[in-house]
Each structure stands twice: as structure tokens, then as C-alpha cells.
Structure 1
């Protein structure tokens, strides 16, 4: 197991190099085999465009496939072809490969938004598209134009939560915790029963956020109206030392309550671990999508979800950045804009994507529709077991929204480093003090790079 853990960093470096290049080459991204972004793509009289996205959980993939198929069935002049790429931390690297090879799709599932806007790689989203959206879920860049619009419901990081076995809770008289202390006592009670409290994953390093972010959120929330923690740290007003307590809690939980093998477990495997009763709870960042995945695997399993509260009982949740470096969503590439037919087709698809018809398809397939102005007309899907827990979180009186949008265009690289540093601390490769020192040194280097 230790040799597997020690190879994590090497695997990440390999993915960013030869392995990932080979993967995108196999998809036709390096050799120009995909013609969706070039003139003449598609059959005679039809403009075909490519929609590149990060392959996520099964529900997300199913939702996109259903919406694209419905669009293509009703469209007379354009067709959309889905082009999935590796998700997680591999995806930003894949975007860099697309950029380096000048083979952008027409529609792109965006990461590092601010960087690509500044580099002139994205085209403005037409007003006929933004007019369909709630005014709070998109924002203009410094030039007054909109470059990214949401791919799903902009409900912040409520999707980062704990999924649990409701039948187990009922059998043992357990309750959803309302404070952090109650969360720890809950896991102690489960352990006393002879069962494993929590399954989590780090086979891909991005799921490590699922346990970390709720623990760090009380610190982050304190800096919400002061420019955010990461900007304060960049300015020297805060430091990695401020995160000592949540890092210690992360280590303590991993040591005492987490199912062994988490270092090589992938995010999707936590669903299997939960329904097979290897653990009573599991971390997730898929929101209702994870609940839908569980239902597909075992329709009889009664799942619920909650967010780890802080010491005072607050549920601190990061808002979605609507135009910053951490913003995610859908964009149109500047490369597609150079071809009038491509740009028109991309605009037409996004217009459909934010329609009531498309929203109903999203809901039917287990997702949550984007925040459109005609949201009252959407047929909401309440059939997924546990889904009501998600919607109740949106109305929870203890919910505290906070902002933490880093302005550095290099932050995604630091985030990857910090995830790896946390994993090394959790599995005993480094100490808490060493993890803090390493992260501070990397943050300082990131700040110098701009």
C-alpha cells in the first residue's frame, strides 16, 4: 500500500506529460481528426460543433448525453458532438493541450476562466443566451462582456457533502449532526458498533477536497467580506498557519474513522463501498448526482446527505464564482467565433440548453437544472431518494454563504499542490508542521509568479 501511495506524485506528473498527451491524441485532439470546429464539419447543409467537457460522475454524463441528443433531434441546421476528456485534476491540463494544439471546441466546459479570458481564448456569450438566465448566476468580465455561463444549478458547494445510510441511522438511533462535536460523536458511535464510519477517496487527488473543504470552511468564511482567505494569504494578511486547526482535524478523522485504502480509492468507488455496507457514510461532491448513482446501483438503498457543520452549528458553503479564476461553466471558444456558422451553432445550442425543455430533461435524468428565469415552469424531479435533503439545505436557517475567489491566475496549480500535501500528511508521509511549511512555500512562489 505504501508503494502505491508513494507513486501518487509520479502518476500525476506522468499524466501531465506523456500519458495525458497520449489520451487526448487518442481522442483525435492533436491530429486534427475532429473537424467539428473547422469549416465544413458535419453533413451537407449542417454545421457540426464539438462540445468538450470533463467526464464526471455517471449522472452528469447521462444528463449531457440526453440534452445533446434532444437538441440534435430538433435542430435543422446544426449538430453537437460530445467530446469527453479526463476529469478531475487532469482536465485543466487537457485544456492546456487543446490550447497548445489550437484545436478548441466550439463549446467548452470551462476551468481557469480568468486565465483564458485574459489570453483571448474565449468569445463573448451573446445576450440572447444570458437573457434566459437568472441575473445572479453570471457576471461580466473587466471588459463588460460575459464569457462563462453555468452548466448546472448554481447552488454553490452544497454538492460537497456527506452521503449516509438512512436505514443504519434509524436502526441505531443516530441523528444527522448539528455541530462539529456531534459529527465526531456520531463517528465514535458508529465505530463503537464495530462498523467503519466514513469512506473517502484520493485515488484521484481532487476528491480530497470533499472532506477538507467543510473542515476549512469556518476559517474561509471569516475572510469572506475581506477579499477571501486566499487573497488575504497572498497579501500577507493571512497564512497557511491559520489552517492548522482544520488540517489537524482532517488528520485526526483520517486516522480514526476513515476506511482503509482511501489513498487508492477513486471517487466513484465510494458509491459501491456505501451500498455494500463497507462504510456507513461517504464523502461526495456530486450532490443529487451521487444519490442518483446510488439508486441505480441499489434501488432499495435509502440514502441521505448532510454537510459537516462548524462548532457553532453553521453550515458554511462556498458560493459559486461566476466569473473568477475558480468559475466553472460553459463557454464559446474564440476559435469558433472566427467561423460564423460555428458561432451561430454554439449560440443556438446554448439557447436550447437554457430552455424549459432542456431543464426538464436535466431533472428527469437526475441532475438539477440551471437557474433559468423560467424556473417556475420546470418539472422538478423528487423521485431520487434523499433528494429532499439537498433542497432542504438550501433553506436551512444555519446556512452561511461565503466567498473565496482567488485572483491569482496560477491558483489551480497551487490547489493541486496543496491537495497532494494534505494527502501526504494524512497518510503519514509528512507531519502537520511539514505540510503547513510546504504549502506556505508553494503559495509564496505562486504569489511571485502572479
Structure 2
């Protein structure tokens, strides 16, 4: 699921250069990494049948999100008398923010952006304010103004925190072997042992590229991160010298133990989308996910007879420590309108606003639910028809009501964090794959963190 805190970012400063944005990708030759088709794209600002055409840039993800993006765009285009939304999907994961940086370097900004590295682009003056006609449709806790009083990002889906980072499992297998959803971390390990004792692979997880590596790591690290919630977040504590990456040794050890012992052989080359196939083909009894109900919907599309369920990995004390959604800072994600759209005469900006007003309407939210995604937190939520037909969806809704659910905050209000985070993900994968030790992972991650903070 997509990632409520008060915004601590500075008023947008237009002094951040395109070169600075390019460098924030870690020194990669970004232009070479992105399809050449981008070179011919502008904000689309022409007309289609007398309507203003705008591009909607988004990261392709699970099939449910891809279907939702198309269904809502099609419905808007059929309804609007003045605008046409043209879908501009790009690869998900780390390729997506890389492509965004390339677009910035070449001036090829779309009007609507499924935003990543939000604070970086906000401080660079790349985002236009989102008007009250849009934000007033949303619950107050799922968006927040910047220090200049304007709102620059609004959610694409329901903000239920990182509850989407969960385990999808084969319910029929559990019933056949007398297994139960774990209520403590010790029970989770015992569950993995029991499946392995049956001669089966307990878990499939994705690390074919770095972003899905969070799917197992985040629930394991959540109990540690939650300890710093009231103190302003773990990463801010590291930056202030009140904590260090050494404090993550225990969850890093747990991560390595699980991937060394219980994960389906060949996990390192597994792409995120392949875990659904591995689960449905019963090559593994469970798989990691970050798509929540969207992954359950994907499973159902592949095999309508597969009896899937989900659970969240519990802490030692049974708490379900779940990171709250970031509505501010660099880790915030959601819809943004590019400042380029506003500067190009205003028609593209007006079209983008019109689309967002439709996106948060009851009609569009019902369409999202029908397609298999939980709709955004709108004020008219009582009028939305929730979709409970997806097998396993009841498990997700039950998690939202679980008395052990503990939402915590881990804000990162500095633009250098996204670059460090990419590095840290890769360092964890190298550790899991045996290329480095835990000591080496901690040491080089701390060094990279300090370097990024020093140059902020």
C-alpha cells in the first residue's frame, strides 16, 4: 500500500539545479538508464478532439494498480468535456525515480506525477500547489500543507500505513497441516520450521531488484523503529547522534537468518511479480508482499480457486508495529502536479486539477474498489461500496481492527535520505546473499549515511 505527520520541509527553493537532482541518484549515468522514448515527451499540452491533453506519469506495479489507473483515466476521459488524460507508465522500483530525474534534467515533465523523492522536488520548485477544491475532498489527516501553507501531494490510495507489507499464504495448506497464523515472532519462526519439516519451502520473497527487498525487512525492523516514534523517528535520531545503524543489528540478523534458512532457493533473482506465481504453483507456502489487497486480487486473477490469506509478522510481544503513512517529507508518495504544467499557460494545470477532483469522487472511488484497490480516504467514504469479494480481503480488514495494531512514525525530513535508502537496500541484499557480513553491512551503511547527512 502507499505511504500523518506535520510537514517540516522548507518553503520551496528554486535554487536546486537540475545537475543537483541528477547527482542525487548516486552518480549514475541516468540518461542512459531510461528508454529513449522519453526524449520526445513534453507535458503533452496539445489538444485531442478539442480537449487539453495531459500526461499522467506513474510507476507500474501490481496488476491491480495498473488496472485501476487505466479504469479511472478511461472513466474521466469519457466524462470530461475539456481534458484528456494520457497514461505514461514507467518501470516500478528504483527505475522509476531514476526516470523522474531524467525527465527533470531534460525538461520533460508531465502534468500529473505519481511522486517519489517528494521533498527533493518540492525544494527544487518542481511542484505546483494543489488547490482546496481537491484537498477538501479528503480526510484532513491524509494530507498536510508545507510551511508556505500550500499542499503539494495527495494520496493515490487509502493511507493504512505499511500494513500492505505482509505475508500472503496458502490457507488450504495451513488447514491441511494444522497450522495457524502466528501471534508472536517466536510463533512465526515455529511456523517456518513446521513448514520446512513437511519438506516444503516456507517462503518466497523478492530481491530481483532492490525495492521489494523492503517487503520482509520492514516488518522485521518495525519493532526497533517503533521505539523511536515518540522521539522523532529512528533516522532523525541517527542523524542527531542519538542512535546508529548498529541499533539495527538484531533485525538484520533476523533478516539474514530467515533468508538463509527458510526462503525458496533462488530468491535473489526473483522479481516481485513472480512471487504470486510461486505461491499459486505451490512452490512456496507463503510469499512476501507490499501490495495488500492488491496482491490478493492478483492471486485471485491467476487462480480463482486459490484460497489465499494474509497476516502481518508480529513482534516478540505480539504487537503489529506498522509504519504510518508519510504525508510529508522525502518518503511521502502520491499525486503531485508539476509546476511546468502551471507555467504552460495554465490549461494543463486546470486539467490536472479536474482529474484529481474526479479521482476523489464517490464514482471514481467505487470504480477503484470494484477493480480491486482500496479507495483513498475521502470525506464521503460512507458512500463508497467496499469490495469484500476478493478472497482473503477479510483478513486485511481484520488487521485494521486488530487490538495489537500499533501505528508508529519514522519521519525523514531531509532530502538526502532517499539516496541513502537506496544504498541501504542494496547493502542488505549483499548481506543476505553472502557477499558481505552483517558487520560490513552496518559499517558501510553508517558511512554512507554520514556522507549523505554531511552534504545535505
TM class by shorter-chain length?
A: over 0.9
Q: Deviations over 1:254-313 (max 9, x none)?
A: 111000111110000000000000000000001000000000000000000011000000
Q: For the residues of structure 2 that align with 1:44 and 1:260, how far apart are their CA atoms?
A: 53
Matches within 5 A, 1:59-78: 59-78=64-83
Q: For the residues of structure 1 that align with 2:229 and 2:103, how far apart are their CA atoms?
A: 34
Aligned match of 1:31 in 28, 32, 40?
40
Matches within 5 A, 1:122-201: 122-201=127-206
SS at match of 2:212: helix
Q: Which residue is 1:368 aligned to?
A: 374
Matches within 5 A, 1:178-257: 178-257=183-262
Q: Which residue is 2:8 aligned to?
A: none
SS at match of 1:401: strand
Matched, 1:50 2:72: no
Q: Which residue is 2:22 aligned to?
A: none
Q: For the residues of structure 1 that align with 2:334 and 2:354, how far apart are their CA atoms?
A: 17
Q: Deviations over 1:217-276 (max 9, x none)?
A: 001000001110001001110001000000000010011100011111000000000000
Aligned match of 2:104 in 99, 102, 105?
99
Q: Deviations over 1:177-219 (max 9, x none)?
A: 0000000000000000000000001101111100000110001
Q: For the residues of structure 1 that align with 2:40 and 2:286, how far apart are their CA atoms?
A: 45
Q: CA deviation at 1:446?
A: 1.1
8 Å contact kept, 2:329–2:414: no
Q: For the residues of structure 2 that align with 1:35 and 1:436, how far apart are their CA atoms?
A: 42
Runs of 4+ in 1 over 4 A off after TM superposition: 12-16
Q: Which residue is 2:312 aligned to?
A: 307
SS at match of 1:224: coil
Q: Which residue is 2:17 aligned to?
A: none
8 Å contact kept, 2:55–2:88: yes
Give the root-mean-square deviation of aligned CA atoms: 1.3
Aligned match of 2:424 in 398, 412, 418?
418
Q: CA deviation at 1:114?
A: 1.1
SS at match of 1:53: strand
Q: 1:128 to 1:259 in 2, by over 3 A?
A: same
Q: Which residue is 2:86 aligned to?
A: 81
Q: CA deviation at 1:13?
A: 8.8
Q: Deviations over 1:133-156 (max 9, x none)?
A: 001100011111100000000111
SS at match of 2:169: strand
8 Å contact kept, 2:30–2:102: no
Matches within 5 A, 1:283-302: 283-302=288-307
Matched, 1:279 2:284: yes
Q: For the residues of structure 2 that align with 1:318 and 1:436, how far apart are their CA atoms?
A: 22
Q: For the residues of structure 1 that align with 2:422 and 2:144, how far apart are their CA atoms?
A: 26
8 Å contact kept, 1:50–1:82: yes
Q: For the residues of structure 2 that align with 1:154 and 1:17, how far apart are their CA atoms?
A: 31
My pick for the range that moved more, 401-410 or 178-187, is 401-410
8 Å contact kept, 2:43–2:108: no
Q: CA deviation at 1:31?
A: 2.7
Q: CA deviation at 1:20?
A: 2.1
When normalised by structure 1's length, the TM-score is: 0.94
8 Å contact kept, 1:288–1:387: yes
Matched, 1:17 2:26: no
Q: Which residue is 1:3 aligned to?
A: none
Q: Deviations over 1:409-442 (max 9, x none)?
A: 0111111111111111111111111111111111
Q: Tell me how many residue pairs correspond in the alignment.
A: 431
Q: For the residues of structure 2 that align with 1:105 and 1:266, how far apart are their CA atoms?
A: 28
Q: For the residues of structure 2 that align with 1:111 and 1:302, how far apart are their CA atoms?
A: 34
Matches within 5 A, 1:111-122: 111-122=116-127
Q: Which residue is 2:434 aligned to?
A: 428
